[in-house]
Each structure stands twice: as structure tokens, then as C-alpha cells.
Amino acid sequence: MRFAKGHGTENDFVILPDPDGALDLSADQVARLCDRRAGIGGDGVLRVVRTAALGEPVTGGAADAEWFMDYRNADGSIAEMCGNGVRVFARYLLHAGLAGGGPITVGTRAGARRVEVEADGDITVDMGLPEVLGAGAARLAGGEEVRGMRVSVGNPHLACVLDRPVAGFDLSAAPELDPAEFPEGGNVEVVAETGPGTLDMRVYERGSGETRSCGTGIVAAAVAATGAAGTPATWRVRVPGGECTVFLDARGARLRGPAVIVAEGEVQPG
């Protein structure tokens, strides 16, 4: 089985080219691939499959995209969307000669996402219009309760804009969320405004643990710092793995940042 490895602000992924939809990945296989000691290592798996070969219904215009991003969390669970993953997915399509020229449309379980390569090599993805669902709370590993804004960016987030540095919060285990607010679980971001238009963020991702970055979480953090979806704003968001920029307006959110392919190879049987 061929693979590639890539990352966006150190949110890293095992990429599996499967244009004809021949792979039937189990949760255990995904978890073993993502194991950082016994496998390749990654925050998740991106399966690169033609939408026509997918074998499952897609919505939100995704059926019109040639390529579909089948994203799995590191524990093997299926996720609706991944902002850094879409950028890395698009970078792989370009790297492998599967796309070229103008904007690329990528199908996801949250709908179609338009991706463009900037002159400096960064990749910008149209993340759609985030949905603010109200206030929420989480209890962190050390017992501290944090409160924030529930935001859907195609997947569920609790983005907590707080009044002290993000390094001091305990994200060593999954935060406890109210099942009534997050029936399918959620991602939790701790966020601090560190200057005009600048945020620091850490994140605990559902199904993957604390990661070095999370693209949808970066968008959720920007929405929470702005106070609403659809209000024009631009935010630089710094995460442990680097920095992305979020542009918000009435049409939605655009996420800009780096995406690189670092290796290719073949997984040994078993």
C-alpha cells in the first residue's frame, strides 16, 4: 500500500492514494498507521479517492468534485471535516499530478471546499460559513471548567477565548463536554488574544488528542474572538506548529497557511 506523509502547521497526516476506491480501511488499520511508534505516525489519515468511486452518498456540492477527502481521526473514527487536512490533500493532488492549474474543488463530508494556491506557496481553503450554536462549557483534565462558544465548521467545536496564556491549560486528556451540547463529541480550543488581530491557540481534537494545530479549530477560534459568524475580521492565529490566517466576512471563512509533503513510501504488509 503506497502512502505519503504531509503536514499543515505540523498537523500531520498519512496520505493514502486510492483513486479507484479499492481500500476498505478499518478503524484498527487507521489507528495502526497513525501510531507514532509502531506505524508511520499522524494525527489522521487522508484517503485520496475519486468521488465517483467512493461508494457513499455525498452532499453540499461534494458530488461535483473529482476528488474526495476521506478523513479519519487517529483513533480510526470518521470526521466530517479537517481544515489543515484539506490544504495537505490539495498539496498532494498537485504533487502527484492529479490536479493542476486553477482552483481545486475537494469533496468532504461537510460539503465541497474550494482551494487555491497562493503566489508564495501557501494554500487558502474556503471553509464555508461557520455556524454559532451558543455558549458551552468543558471541564479540562485538571478539573478546571472553561466556557466558550459552540461553533460548527462542518465539525463541532467549543472555542474558549480566555484571559490568560494558553500554555497554562491542561489538555493532557479529553475535556468533558455536555452530551446534550455535543452529542457526537467535539474539539476544544483554548484561545488568548495576544495583540491586535492576533490569537494564540491550543486544541484537543476529538479522536486524536492534543495536536500541534487544527484548521477548523483555528477558524472556530477566530469566530469566537470576533463574537459572531459573518462579521468581517482578519486574524493571525498562532498554534504550537506554526501560524495560519483566517479571513471572515459575510460569505464565510477562508483559512490560509502552509501545506507540505515530506515523504513517500510503501507500507509493509501486516
- Give the active site residue among 34, 82, 160, 244: 82
DSSP track, 151-202 = EESSSEEEEEE-SS-GGGS--SSPPEE-TTT-TT--EEEEEEEEETTEEEEE
- In angstroms, the CA 152 to CA 109 distance is 13
Report the candidate in 116, 122, 78, 97 with the shortest Cα–Cα distance to residue 236. Answer: 122
Q: Are 187 and 174 in contact (CB under 8 A)?
A: no
Q: CA separation (Å) from 140 to 74, 136, 206, 267?
A: 21, 13, 13, 37
Contacts of 95 (CB under 8 A, 6+ apart): 4, 261
> Of residues 34, 160, 214, 244, which has the active-site annotation?
214
SS3 of residue 266 by DSSP: strand
214 is an active site residue: yes
| Partners of 268 in the β-ladder | none
Residue 82 annotated in active site: yes
Question: Is the distance from CB of 20 to CB of 27 less than 8 angstroms?
Answer: no
* Catalytic site positions: 82, 214
